[in-house]
Amino acid sequence: MSQNHQPIETFVEKLVHEYFEADEHLEKIIWIKSPKPEIRLIEVNAQTITTNDVFAFYFPPFDEIPYAMKIAEVTPDEWQKVLQNEIPLPMGWSLEDRQEFSRELVAV
Amino acid sequence: MIDLRAWQLAFLKQARSDWETYQRIDDPAWPTCHRLHFLQMATEKLAKALLVADDVSLDKITHTHAAFVKFMRVARKNHNLQKELGMTYSQIIVHFNRLLPIAREIEILAPTLAQAGPNPEYPWLDNTGEILVPVDYSFPLIKLLQSPPGTQLLRYIRRFFVAFEKLFL
C-alpha cells in the first residue's frame, strides 16, 4: 500500500491519463514496476530526439503523487531497440514486470 | 555504496559554476565561442544533475552530451515547476515547445553532436574545404538567444539553477 493508503496503480493511471490528454504525440507509456516505492515510466513519443539511451529523470514526490517518479522518453524506434535488447534499460529496470498503456486503450 | 545524492549535488555545483562563468563572460567583449561553450556545459550538467539521481551509470552520464533537450521535455511533468510557473501540464507543453528548438541548438554545440560542424571548441572544415576556427566564427545561436524565446529559455535556465533544490530535490 502507498503512503496514503491508495495502491500505486491508482497514481500511475492518473498520470497516464494526464499525460495522454496533454500530449497528442505521446504514443505509449510503459510502467516498469519496481520493488522500490517509486513510479518508473518510459514514454514513447515520436517528437522526442534520438539519443539511443534510456535516460530516466528523477522527480520528487508531491502532494498528489506521493511517490518519487523516474521518467524516460524514447522514440518509437528506440523503444523497438529496447524490446530487442539493443538499447539497455537503466540499472535495476526490467521489462519482465511491465504494463503498457496505449492511447487507444486509455479513454482520454 | 555510491552516494547518489552526493553525486547529484556535485554535478549541480559544477553546473552552477559553468553557469556563473557564462553569465560573467556573456558580453560582446568576449568571443562568442567561449560564451556558448560555457552555456552548453552548464545546461548539459544541469540535466545530468537530475539523471544522476539514480539508475543511470556515472560512466554513461559523463560520456553522453545529449541530455538537455530531454531534460527540458521531461521537466514539463514536474509538478513543482508547474506550480512555480502557474501553468497546467498542457499549458507548459505548448509553452516549452517554443523553446525546445533553441535548447537543441545549445545541446548540439557539443563537438560530438556537432558532427564535424560548428562547435565552440575545435576547428572544423566547412563545405568549401576551408578550415574554420571557433574563435572567428559568428554563431547564429547567439542571435537566437536574444530573440523572445531565447531570452525566455535563458530565464528558465537561470530559474532552474536558482531553485533547483526546491523544484527537483
B104 to A91: CB separation less than 8 angstroms, yes or no: no
Say yes or no: B94 contacts chain A, CB-CB below 8 A.
Answer: no
More confident residue, B124 or A63: B124
Mean pLDDT for chain B overall: 93
Evaluate whether A88 touches B56 at the Cβ level (below 8 Å). Answer: no
Mean pLDDT over A61-72 rounds to 91
Q: Does B163 touch chain A (CB under 8 A)?
A: no
- Which amino acid is residue B163, in one-letter code? A
Distance set, CA B153 to CA A9, A101, B106 (Å) = 35, 32, 11
Element (H, E) at A79: helix A76-83
A66 CB near a chain B CB, below 8 Å? no
Residue A108 scores a pLDDT above 60? no
**pLDDT of B5:** 82
Q: Is the dihedral of CA B71, A62, A10, A68 positive or negative?
A: positive
pLDDT tens sequence across A18-49 = 999 999 999 999 999 999 999 999 999 999 99
pLDDT band for position A1 (cuts 50, 70, 90): very low
The residue-averaged pLDDT of A5-25 equals 92
**Tell me, what's the pLDDT at A63?**
84
ipTM over 0.85: yes
Interface test with B, best of A58, A70, A93, A94 (most B CBs within 10 A): A58
> Which of B55, B60, B72, B98 would best serve as a mutation to test chain A binding (most A beta carbons within 10 A)?
B55
Cβ contact A71–B89 (<8 Å): no
Helix residue spans in chain B (DSSP H): 4-25, 32-51, 58-63, 68-75, 79-85, 89-97, 100-107, 111-114, 140-144, 148-162, 164-168
**pTM of the predicted model as reported, rounded to 2 decimal places:** 0.91
pLDDT for B56-109, tens place per residue? Answer: 778 888 888 999 999 999 999 998 999 999 999 999 999 999 999 999 999 999
Nearest chain A residue to B69 by CA: give it.
A49
pLDDT of residue B4: 76
Contact B53 A18 (CB under 8 A): no
Q: What is the pLDDT of residue A2?
A: 46
pLDDT of the residue at B2: 65
Residue B52 above 90 pLDDT? no
- Report yes or no: A24 at the B interface, CB cutoff 8 Å: no
Hey, of B56, B88, B102, which one would you mutate to test binding to chain A, going by the most A CBs within 10 A of its CB? B56
Task: State the nearest Cα–Cα gap between A1 and chain B, in angstroms.
Answer: 23
What pLDDT, on the 0 to 100 scale, is given for residue B54? 67
Q: Which domains does chain A have, with CATH numbers?
A: 8-105 (3.30.460.10)
pLDDT over threshold 60, residue A4: no
